[in-house]
Amino acid sequence: MTFEIDGLSVRRGARTVLHEVSLTLQPGAVTVLIGPNGSGKSTLLAALSGALPYQGSVRLHGAEVRDTGPEALAGRRALMSQQSELAFPFPVHEIVALGARRPLPRTRIDGLLAEVGLAGFGPRNAMALSGGESQRMHLARALAQAETADAAFWLMLDEPVSSLDLAHQMATMDRARAFASAGGGVLMVLHDLNLAVRGGDRIIVLHNGAITADGTPQEVMTDAMIARVYGCDLPVNKVPDRAPFLLVQSLPRAAGSAQGRPAI
């Protein structure tokens, strides 16, 4: 279930958000998209999922995504967006069940909720959850979709840890790793670079709508990339047999204003 992307461009209004992106994505690995705000990460994820029109070619398992119907796409990938608004107070277990392409027993729905740290949350009002709880509920929904797929499957996760505490961030990354190790594909957007290098097999750096680096964490995470893409003079720390990491404490602290507020 390989993604083959050739000359992908996406326009939003008068602006071209992605410029001639070409790459191949293989299942069995966690691929992480990083880059500054507005670099095209979420747009790329949405275009690959079939949620946005595009120019060029995006083929999933040999089929052009824009020519593939919603039912067929639902059996090949799940998209977890940054935000998913609910209009009605459905129970949590019903939201998770919506992801399944065929009925799942309630016990299995409860099991998926337990996998994302929401054991016992099934009867709760989904609209009353915290931001982090809601994020994990939608991850369980995506896992329900994957579980009822007909073939190898892609999880496409847009900032899946943005509202999570440290323990649930680690648990979500470990769940993604387990999914990839079982043969599925994982493509996710992250802003936390340390999480990206800890959890990613492959890192793709987007900047100004184009790919500027692509490779293993060790290959991609360099002082030069951080300076060029993020505009930060922040050294990358490297320890033998460990993923590279960043210490923001090594940056000088910005001086505040006269009123004690930070200068922006």
Q: How many domains does the chain have?
A: 2
Establish if 258 belongs to a structural domain: no
26 and 96 belong to one structural domain? no
Identify which of 113, 85, 100 has the alpha carbon closest to the alpha carbon of residue 171: 113
98 and 225 belong to one structural domain? no
Distance between CA atoms of 158 and 187, rounded to whole angstroms? 8
* Residue where one domain finishes, among candidates 130, 148, 166: 148
139 and 187 belong to one structural domain? no
Establish if 95 belongs to a structural domain: yes
Q: What is the pLDDT of residue 248?
A: 82
Structure-derived torsion over alpha carbons of residues 229, 198, 137, 140, reported in degrees to the nearest 10: 120
Question: Bridge partners of 77?
Answer: 154
62 and 185 belong to one structural domain? yes
Structure tokens at 151: 């073939």
Distance between CA atoms of 144 and 66, rounded to whole angstroms? 24
Q: What is the pLDDT of residue 256?
A: 57
Q: What is the mean pLDDT of each run of 10 residues along the chain (264 residues)?
A: 95 92 96 96 96 96 94 92 85 95 93 96 96 95 90 92 94 95 96 94 96 95 94 87 80 57 46
Distance between CA atoms of 195 and 237, rounded to whole angstroms? 14
212 and 170 belong to one structural domain? yes
Q: What is the pLDDT of residue 259?
A: 47
Please give the residue range of the domain that contains residue 133: 85-148
94 and 219 belong to one structural domain? no
121 close to 110: Cβ distance less than 8 angstroms: no
Q: What is the pLDDT of residue 250?
A: 72
99 and 214 belong to one structural domain? no
7 and 127 belong to one structural domain? no
3-class DSSP state for residue 259? coil
162 and 216 belong to one structural domain? yes
Establish if 229 belongs to a structural domain: yes
Q: What is the pLDDT of residue 249?
A: 75
186 close to 176: Cβ distance less than 8 angstroms: yes
Q: What angle do CA 224, 174, 222 make, to 5 degrees?
A: 5
Identify the DSSP state of 40. S
96 close to 109: Cβ distance less than 8 angstroms: yes
179 and 228 belong to one structural domain? yes
Distance between CA atoms of 181 and 145, rounded to whole angstroms? 18
144 close to 78: Cβ distance less than 8 angstroms: no
**What is the b/e burial string over 103-117, where b = at least 16 CB atoms within 10 angstroms of the residue's CB?**
ebeeebbbebbebbb
161 and 142 belong to one structural domain? no
Radius of gyration over every alpha carbon of the chain, rounded to an integer in angstroms = 19
CATH code of the domain covering residue 169: 3.40.50.300
Identify which of 109, 110, 49, 94 has the alpha carbon closest to the alpha carbon of residue 75: 49
33 close to 190: Cβ distance less than 8 angstroms: yes
89 and 68 belong to one structural domain? no
Establish if 56 belongs to a structural domain: yes
